[in-house]
Structure 1
Amino acid sequence: MALELRQQLKLAQKLVMTQQLRQAIKLLQLNRLELSGALQAEIEQNPALEEDTLVQDSSERSSGLSATDENLDPGKESDFTEKFQVSDNLPEINWEDYANNFDSNFSFARETPPADAPSQFDFISEKPDLMAYLQWQLAHCELDENEWDIALYIIGNFNRYGFLEIDLDSVCRETGCQLDDAEYVLEVIQDLDPPGIGARDVSESLYLQLERLGKGDSLAAEIVLNHLPLLQTRNYKMLARATGKKKPEIERAINYIISELTPFPGLPYATDDTNYIVPDVYVKKIDDEYVIQLNEDDLPQLKLSSIYQELLKNDKTLEKESKQYLNEKLKNADWFIKSLYQRQRTIYKVMESILKFQYDFFERGAEHLKPLILKDVAEDIDMHESTVSRVTSNKYVHTPQGIYELKFFFSTAIPREGGDAMASESIKTLIRKMIQDEDKDSPLSDNAIAQNLAEKNIKIARRTVAKYREQLKILPVKHRRHTK
């Protein structure tokens, strides 16, 4: 068959996502902090979108998305442009307070400080991380240039616990040094502060700390070097048999290790940022009735630029390209405001549906969480499951029971004999409570927990209990046992 080029007409149906629809979907899946950044970015990019500096009545803003708002009627058309009005109550900043000089008002002599006076910014300090702290100490060690390069490479391969993650052969290969030089530099680093730094594992770290305290030949040193697994499980009987010591001696050694040593010396110098959760929606109980309130704090007020609207309407001298540009920007700004309001309305409807399905949770706690899937909420509010999934991802709600991710309210059903099915999260709560109330000298095993649940007509396998316990970050029974 010969190859040839041919033109054909073909009729097909396909769903094409416009740029506006992509933007609406993107806004829908943003959480509270990401939304604030998206608003600021859109204001900077679109000159037709600006902040409304007029402060509205707080009661009008709080009722903008209330349960009685007529705009929540999906069958009613309305203009969303002016509906999403959120005040920005940030006070005006006096930048003179941040001038790069000293305030002469604090001088008793009322004299202006000299020009070469140190800046107040010179005294702003930042907590150094582990690597900076070690470099400062190494600067006082008498290392030549080659040894200094080796030391920098070694401390550059420390993890957040202060342990060396590579072997000395890799150090020699990457730095081109001899094994004796690498060992010497590592010994120098291990003599630095904090004690135990530069170890390869927990056992070596604890031993280095004991050696620093002059207890390198003690019973505690023997335990951390040779019997660390028995120490982790507090198996005093096996420790006594392995070391040939009596139980009181072993108890004193273990108590010393626990009270005086730290297994991870680098953690106090970790500079991990703390991520705070900002709720996207609040559920409050007022007069025996739950009220849903969206978190709109610090979000800017949005409106179409009146200057561009007047310019497009009244200026007859505008060129065609300029009119097209203004029309496009005003259209995008109007669509952005409508998409933003639609996002808020969708979150409200999803939260309202969750409140209806999980009313017992809000009243009595996590033990009364019911099985719920995305399809249930989607059918209740007449939306697609993918939309509900986007709304509930990475968004949090502040409830009388605490702060929870919206995904928390969706869980699979666990059959229950002689009763309604239970949510997996409810069973996890029961397991956590059992472990909290257990006898610390004789903690519950996974099999015992499964048996206790079976007495409540909740029959799950031991391995399922183990899986739930691991998800709750609860240690196994051998690590929870407290020996008298």
Structure 2
Amino acid sequence: MYNSLQLRQTQKLGLALTPQLQQAIKLLQLSTLELRQEIKAVALQNPMLEVEDDGNDERFESLESLAEQESKADSNDTFDPFDNDSSVKCTDTAFPDANQTINISSDQNTVQNLSENQGQRLNSADTRHGQSLGNDDVYEGETTEDLHDHLLWQLDLSPLEGADRLIAENIIDGINDSGYLQESLESIVATVRETYPEVSQEDALSVLKLIWNYDPLGVGARSVQECLRLQLEAKTPSATTELALHIVNEYLKELSVRDFRTLCQKLNIKENQLKPAIDLITSLNPRPGHGAVKEKSDFIIPDVIVIKGNDGRYYVTLNSDSIPKIKINEHYRQLASQAQTEQDRKFFKNNLQEANWFMQSLSKRNETLMKVASVIVEKQQDFMEYGEGSLHPMVLNDIASEIEMHESTVSRITTEKYILTPKGTFELKYFFSSSVSTDDGGTASSKAIRARIKELVSKENARKPLSDSRLSSMLADEGIIVARRTVAKYRESLGIASSSQRKRLV
């Protein structure tokens, strides 16, 4: 045995992820918003790439043209101290008499007070409307007001000062997004006593009663019963209101399970007398904080659009306006041909190669998106025509085998990609669903079954709602074999309450 050095050559087959392939996979799974940001970032780093500017629309002007117009306007308005402006005349200004006494101190105080008040209003308005200079995460003009801001704004309009104001601020801090007070009055009083030792629990309760009158009505309640009671007490007194208050105070448990027969027995009334009170209670808002401040709406830009052809079938077209268009910068292309040094030629060559790779990856992404969307629409023609109830079962493997790609590729290209159809805008993932066997040997989509359950519940008798067992038997009559537990699972996923909770008085 002896040690020696040997040189051997072997061949192996393997998949190497090149930078170009890694970039293509990354672009494939990006959403439209993320892809926009990626294109802008790459265009800033690579001088050979240029984002095409849609400057053909005459309704919009570029920032450069606006700046040029502003500079011209400023140059025309040059101040001339010797210009005799006839718009300002000495007779328009009232000068005091020589013997008149001017109270300078009072005028200065007035100006100072006006400045302070104006500054406070500007600061509070800027904070509510997202124009605060200290908050870089909020763009100018964005509405960021929440329930706590809304309550604090009302507190600023109230005359509360000192200990009462501190109690009110602590109460508002203890209110959750639903509008309920989660902190106990004892803990609030203990916090306030660190500054004002003489504060009592009765003082805190008095301030809480004032906050109960804030908008939205019922905010600051400590329970659902108290929230409903506050809203009922604010309504115009009537026999229906008194009955509703009595039900909320004494029979909330029976009301929660919709045991109307027991309610009628205990109240010694008939159903036609109970119905107006129940309708009044159900019209109240058990979560007053949710509707206090309007939330910002989210808008979705579809990646592909479904259009109906002359033959009556549906086809897919790419939404070209969803992402910015890019091209090779001609100016830098000319500079590359005029490069003198080896370093400059290498710089332009590398950037041009990366730019071409990026544009090819974008083109490949759009091509894959069109392939997947076209197959989905082809398989879901009935959905495009009739809606969710006609959705066919489909899994990732069905699309992957059709376009001869891997399931992971289909999963990436359908994540956070949206399609505009005649029935609304949906994520491409929406069209994939599991299948349920039918009695004729076929299959039905689980989402189509959910849509059918929703339709059956919407047409049920409100006095006798359909139970899960009854829904299961009705689906079986239509050839769809679904167990009762599966029906219950689908019903809960749709946000539909149980049959006992759906019971109504008609």
Please name the residue that 1:263 is paired with: 286
- Match of residue 139, structure 1, among 156, 175, 196: 156
How far the C-alpha of 1:52 sits from its partner, in A, is 3.2
What is the distance in 1 between the residues matched to 2:452 and 2:54?
51
How far the C-alpha of 1:19 sits from its partner, in A, is 4.3
**Counterpart residue type for residue 38 of structure 2:** A
What is the distance in 2 between the residues matched to 1:32 and 1:237?
55
Q: Does the alignment pair 1:273 with 2:242?
A: no
> 8 Å contact 1:169–1:179 — kept in the other structure?
no
What is the distance in 1 between the residues matched to 2:157 and 2:308?
62
Alpha-carbon spacing, 1:139–1:20, altered in 2? closer, same or farther (3 Å): same
How far the C-alpha of 1:15 sits from its partner, in A, is 5.2
| Partner-residue secondary structure (3-state), 2:491 | helix
Q: Percent identity?
A: 37
Please name the residue that 2:435 is paired with: 413
Please name the residue that 2:317 is paired with: 293
What RMSD, in angstroms, separates the aligned Cα atoms of the two structures? 3.6
Please name the residue that 1:191 is paired with: 213
Please name the residue that 2:249 is paired with: 225
Alpha-carbon spacing, 1:172–1:26, altered in 2? closer, same or farther (3 Å): farther
| Partner-residue secondary structure (3-state), 1:480 | coil
Q: Which has the higher contact order (CA 8 A, sep 6+)?
A: 1
What is the distance in 1 between the residues matched to 2:269 and 2:275?
10
| Partner-residue secondary structure (3-state), 1:155 | helix
The answer for unaligned runs of 5 or more in structure 1 is: 1-8, 56-86, 100-110, 113-117
Aligned residues: 424
Query: What do residues 192-216 of structure 1 show as CA deviations (whole Å, max 9, x unaligned)?
Result: 2332111123321111223344869
What is the distance in 2 between the residues matched to 1:407 and 1:302?
28
**Counterpart residue type for residue 292 of structure 1:** V
Alpha-carbon spacing, 1:141–1:90, altered in 2? closer, same or farther (3 Å): closer
> 8 Å contact 2:388–2:447 — kept in the other structure?
yes
Query: What do residues 142-199 of structure 1 show as CA deviations (whole Å, max 9, x unaligned)?
Result: 4444443342233234333322234345545666666715444333322323321111
What is the distance in 2 between the residues matched to 1:329 and 1:201?
64
> 8 Å contact 1:189–1:197 — kept in the other structure?
yes
Q: Does the alignment pair 1:390 with 2:384?
A: no
Q: Does the alignment pair 1:34 with 2:34?
A: yes
More moved, 163-172 vs 210-219: 210-219
What is the distance in 1 between the residues matched to 2:504 and 2:353?
68
| Partner-residue secondary structure (3-state), 2:393 | coil
> 8 Å contact 1:441–1:481 — kept in the other structure?
yes
What is the distance in 2 between the residues matched to 1:330 and 1:89?
33
Query: What do residues 405-425 of structure 1 show as CA deviations (whole Å, max 9, x unaligned)?
Result: 211221111111124111111
**Counterpart residue type for residue 333 of structure 1:** A
Please name the residue that 1:45 is paired with: 45
**Counterpart residue type for residue 39 of structure 1:** I
| Partner-residue secondary structure (3-state), 2:327 | strand
Alpha-carbon spacing, 1:250–1:273, altered in 2? closer, same or farther (3 Å): same
What is the distance in 1 between the residues matched to 2:14 and 2:187?
56
Query: What do residues 416-464 of structure 1 show as CA deviations (whole Å, max 9, x unaligned)?
Result: 1124111111211221221222223322111111000111221111111
Please name the residue that 2:21 is paired with: 21
How far the C-alpha of 1:389 sits from its partner, in A, is 0.5
What is the distance in 1 between the residues matched to 2:314 and 2:280?
53
What is the distance in 1 between the residues matched to 2:447 and 2:58?
39
How far the C-alpha of 1:248 sits from its partner, in A, is 4.6
Query: What do residues 343-386 of structure 1 show as CA deviations (whole Å, max 9, x unaligned)?
Result: 11000010122133333333443333222111111111111111
| Partner-residue secondary structure (3-state), 2:420 | strand
What is the distance in 1 between the residues matched to 2:466 and 2:229?
33
TM-score normalized by the length of structure 1: 0.77
| Partner-residue secondary structure (3-state), 2:308 | strand
Please name the residue that 1:422 is paired with: 444
Please name the residue that 1:456 is paired with: 478
What is the distance in 2 between the residues matched to 1:407 and 1:183?
52
What is the distance in 2 between the residues matched to 1:203 and 1:97?
64
- Match of residue 313, structure 1, among 315, 337, 343: 337
> 8 Å contact 1:27–1:35 — kept in the other structure?
yes
Alpha-carbon spacing, 1:480–1:42, altered in 2? closer, same or farther (3 Å): same
What is the distance in 2 between the residues matched to 1:188 and 1:229?
28
Q: Please identify the structure whose Cα radius of gyration is greater.
A: 2
Alpha-carbon spacing, 1:19–1:146, altered in 2? closer, same or farther (3 Å): farther
**Counterpart residue type for residue 348 of structure 1:** M
> 8 Å contact 2:303–2:322 — kept in the other structure?
no
